[in-house]
Amino acid sequence: MNYSLFDEEDSAPWIEELFPGAILLHRYALPHVKTLMRCLDSIYQQSPLRQMKTPGGRSIAVHNTSCGEVGLISDVRGYRYTPLDPQTKAKWPPMPEKFRELATDAAKLSGYSNFNPDSCLINRYLPETKLSLHQDKDEADFTQPIVSVSLGMPAVFVFGGLQRNDKLSRVTLEHGDVLVWGGDARLLFHGVLSVKRQPHPLIGTQRINLTFRRAM
């Protein structure tokens, strides 16, 4: 099923169901991009982007930081949500009200009316950066969806089933796209193919992805 939110021309947002429970709101974040970027500047000043280590000791290609009551970290002990940024030893920056509003509005539009995120992970991809196939299962309550906002350079997102070797589908995520993953889609394997260098007029030579979660 594929229907438009507004009966207008091509840059208007439209809704696509990728998988039962996985809703792609094309261009939904476009009106909010400048506000989001200003908020990100302030977050980066408090908790800078950095490369974390995998439990195996390798450096993760994607740079990340977090805002909200807890942030996702990774080190030799594994992945977990913490109330303090291990780099600054201070609390993560609070989640901007505009962030929360965008995420909960997108969730509501997708059928998840009680989404209450306590964490937003901010991922930055430079050209040639990829994210290997994985599941997001470090959160306490899988009935809460995950909402992801893509900004800047496009990326090919891949998603499969509940088994690592299930058949994969691909979808390009573009500037302003918002994806809501809930219900039967919440535990699907997913990843991001190597991002191509394709500078974006407003965001530059990077792709930024915000993922909103209920972690605790």
Residue 186's binding partner among ligand MD3, Fe ion, none (Cβ under 5 to 8 angstroms by kind) is ligand MD3
**Is 118 one of the binding residues for Fe ion (CB under 5 A)?**
no
> Considering only 3-11, 94-102, 161-169, 184-192, which stretch makes contact with ligand MD3 by CB under 6 A?
184-192
Six token digits for residue 134: 């994985």
**Is 24 one of the binding residues for ligand MD3 (CB under 6 A)?**
no
**Is 211 one of the binding residues for ligand MD3 (CB under 6 A)?**
yes
Is 158 within 8 Å of 172 (Cβ atoms)? Answer: no
Residue 148's binding partner among Fe ion, ligand MD3, none (Cβ under 5 to 8 angstroms by kind) is ligand MD3
**Is 144 one of the binding residues for ligand MD3 (CB under 6 A)?**
no
* Footprint on residues 125-154 left by Fe ion (CB under 5 A): 136
The contact mask relative to ligand MD3 for 103-142 (x = CB under 6 A, - = no) is ------------------x-x-------x----x------
Minimal CA–CA distance to 40: which of 81, 96, 91? 96
**Is 190 one of the binding residues for ligand MD3 (CB under 6 A)?**
yes
Residues 6 or more apart whose CB falls under 8 angstroms from that of 145 comprise: 21, 107, 110, 112, 115, 180, 181, 182, 183, 186
Mapped to the 3 state alphabet, what secondary structure does 82-131 carry? ECECCCCCCECCCCCHHHHHHHHHHHHHCCCCCCCCCEEEEEEECCCCCE
Lookup result for tokens 């979660």:
213
Shortest distance (Å) from residue 13 CB to Fe ion: 23
Of residues 106, 179, 180, 215, which one binds ligand MD3 by CB under 6 A? 179
Q: Count the alpha carbons within 13 Å of 120 in the hemisphere toward its beta carbon.
A: 30
Residue 139, Cβ density class (10 Å: 0-12 exposed, 13-18 middle, ≥19 buried)? middle
Give residues in contact with ligand MD3 (CB under 6 A). 121, 123, 131, 136, 146, 148, 159, 179, 181, 185-186, 188, 190, 192, 209, 211
